[in-house]
């Protein structure tokens, strides 16, 4: 088996499409009211799947975390430390919820965290100082 991608189960598809398209910069060309969004970002398949549609398809209900949750993270990399700071500032201005300010960790990565509108964590980081 090989990893093709990952998906996020969502409540509010229009809000999540706008966030990942307009704030994070993913190229989403599907309608905001679609049942699911399939896109490829840097060679990785990324899916947004409406929870109610997934439950209907599988014939069962699931439990979901609410609020900012730490069940998983989406990790995005940028070119260098300065880009971490600039990107954090930019996405927060565009509506991302700040979780952790840019910090240089002991292992040499500059990293920060934001949350999408449904509380999923997104890391933005770099191991390159310049």
If one counts the domains in the chain, the total is 2
For residue 16, being part of any structural domain is answered with yes
For residue 63, being part of any structural domain is answered with no
Residue 38: CB atoms within 10 Å: 14
73 and 120 in a single domain? The answer is yes
Average pLDDT score over residue span 104-117: 98
For residue 113, being part of any structural domain is answered with yes
Helix or strand (DSSP H, E) at 73:
strand 69-77
pTM of the model: 0.92
- In angstroms, the Cα distances linking 75 to 44, 46, 58 are 12, 12, 28
3-state secondary structure of 67: coil
Percent of the chain with pLDDT over 90: 77
49 and 92 in a single domain? The answer is no
Model confidence at 13: pLDDT above 90: yes
Contact 97, 87 (CB under 8 A): no
Over the stretch 78-110, which tens digit does the pLDDT of each residue have? 999 999 999 999 999 999 999 999 999 999 999
CATH of the domain at 122: 3.10.180.10
Model confidence at 68: pLDDT above 90: yes
* Domain range enclosing 115: 69-126
Average pLDDT score over residue span 66-83: 94
> Among residues 16, 38, 58, which one ends one of the domains?
58
For residue 42, being part of any structural domain is answered with yes
> Among residues 58, 80, 97, which one ends one of the domains?
58
């Amino acid at each position: 088996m090989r990893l093709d991608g990952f998906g996020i189960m969502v409540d509010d598809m229009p809000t999540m499409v706008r966030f990942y398209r307009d704030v994070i910069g993913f190229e989403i060309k599907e309608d905001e009211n679609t049942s699911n969004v399939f896109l490829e970002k840097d060679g990785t398949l990324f899916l947004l799947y409406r929870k109610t549609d997934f439950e209907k398809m599988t014939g069962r209900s699931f439990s979901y975390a609410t609020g900012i949750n730490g069940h998983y993270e989406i990790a995005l990399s940028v070119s260098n430390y300065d880009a971490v700071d600039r990107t954090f500032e930019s996405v927060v201005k565009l509506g991302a919820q700040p979780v952790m300010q840019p910090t240089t960790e002991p292992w040499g990565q500059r990293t920060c965290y934001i949350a999408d509108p449904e509380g999923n964590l997104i890391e933005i980081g770099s191991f390159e100082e310049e």
